[in-house]
């Protein structure tokens, strides 16, 4: 769980100037293709492996960068519970006797960052289908497997002018994530996910004019910027609610961010309290944020063998550099 927290602290969330930014939630049917390591290492008790799909949670976000009116580059970040229901033959503990069948459900918490080329059948503001394909690098939070995963993905979806959308995606793992110390000679992840969500798209002409008016007013009478926002990923954990403010009457300069959130995986639950001093530079609505601080983690973990922390509290320091889109009028 400490590794999970540190990895979260090293991650960043994308809030960009893309043409659309979306969030989604759904379910994945995951499985894996694996071979037993018994022939190489007789101490491995698995002698045959067959897997069937199992359901798992999917949470994510994506940003679409327009190349033209129909073609887009999509960058995403997904938290997905992979794994599968494994069946096979198991040797007796003493190594003698006939193998006997077993069935075991395994969960691999993963973070995938799909990068796809997407074609949309209509222009923005109209109902449209989308079709995409690309590469899916990922990170596995599982002690017995390699941390790095990699696959090829395809995507089919539908977007409505209201902002609602649905996606069906498939990720075919290309990287062998098994390790020599584990029970498998090879293991390749597979996942089929269905998600629904909401995307934030282009502003209307009236909204653009309104922003110009607000900008002129804010330049004439600057006020201290104060923002309350939710964050997925980042140094604060999986999901947090944060408050950010400047120390002076300005939308930029030195300031403070504090928050509270939750962090969890298959075996652990807890909360996190991030605090950081930051400096914001830029103009209008586009800014560069530099920050340094620490996240206090507190969690309880079930016994999972060697890495067992029934209760633990620790602080993870972090530094942060990222792009910030800060709407005009985000003041006290």
Give CA separation, 15 vs 110, 156, 177, 278, 323, in Å: 21, 23, 31, 17, 7
**CA 144 to each of CA 17, 124, 136, 200: distance values in angstroms, whole numbers, following the listed order:** 39, 45, 21, 39
pLDDT per residue of the chain (332 residues) written in tens, 0 to 9: 444 444 444 434 444 345 688 899 999 999 999 999 888 888 888 888 999 999 989 999 998 988 888 899 999 999 998 999 999 888 887 767 788 898 888 888 899 999 999 999 998 778 999 999 999 999 988 767 888 999 999 999 999 988 899 999 999 999 999 987 678 889 999 999 999 999 886 555 565 566 566 556 555 546 777 888 777 777 766 778 888 888 888 878 899 999 888 776 655 677 888 999 999 888 777 788 888 888 888 877 655 443 444 567 788 888 877 777 766 654 44
Contact 311, 302 (CB under 8 A): no
Query: What is the model's pLDDT at position 24?
Result: 93
Quick one: pLDDT at residue 304?
A: 47
Q: For position 27, what pLDDT does the model report?
A: 94
Structural domains in the chain, sorted by start: 20-200 (2.40.160.20), 205-325 (2.40.160)
């Amino acid at each position: 769980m400490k590794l999970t927290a540190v990895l979260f602290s090293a991650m960043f969330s994308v809030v960009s100037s893309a043409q659309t930014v979306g969030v989604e939630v759904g379910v994945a049917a995951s499985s894996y293709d694996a071979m037993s390591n018994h022939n190489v290492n007789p101490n491995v008790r698995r002698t045959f492996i067959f897997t069937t799909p199992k359901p798992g949670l999917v949470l994510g976000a994506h940003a679409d960068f327009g190349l033209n009116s129909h073609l887009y580059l999509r960058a995403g970040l997904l938290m997905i519970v992979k794994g599968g229901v494994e069946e096979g033959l198991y040797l007796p503990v003493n190594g003698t006797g006939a193998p006997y069948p077993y069935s075991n459900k395994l969960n691999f918490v993963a973070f995938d960052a799909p990068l796809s080329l997407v074609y949309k059948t209509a222009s923005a503001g109209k109902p449209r289908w989308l079709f995409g394909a690309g590469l899916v690098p990922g990170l596995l939070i599982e002690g017995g497997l390699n941390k790095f995963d990699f696959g090829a993905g395809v995507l089919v979806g539908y977007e409505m002018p209201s902002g609602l959308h649905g996606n069906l995606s498939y990720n075919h793992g290309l990287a062998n994530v098994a390790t020599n110390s584990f029970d498998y000679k090879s293991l390749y992840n597979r996942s089929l996910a269905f998600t629904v969500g909401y995307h934030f798209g282009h502003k209307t002409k009236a909204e653009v004019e309104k922003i110009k008016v607000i900008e002129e007013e804010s330049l004439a009478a600057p006020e201290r910027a104060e923002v309350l926002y939710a964050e997925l990923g980042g140094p604060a954990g999986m999901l947090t609610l944060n408050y950010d403010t400047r120390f002076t009457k300005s939308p930029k300069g030195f300031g403070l961010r504090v928050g509270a959130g939750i962090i969890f995986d298959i075996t652990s639950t807890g909360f996190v309290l991030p605090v950081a001093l930051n400096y914001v530079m830029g103009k209008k609505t586009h800014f560069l944020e530099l920050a340094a601080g620490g996240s206090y983690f507190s969690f309880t973990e079930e016994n999972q063998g060697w890495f067992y922390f029934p209760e633990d509290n620790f602080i993870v320091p972090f530094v942060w550099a990222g792009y910030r889109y800060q709407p005009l009028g985000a003041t006290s």
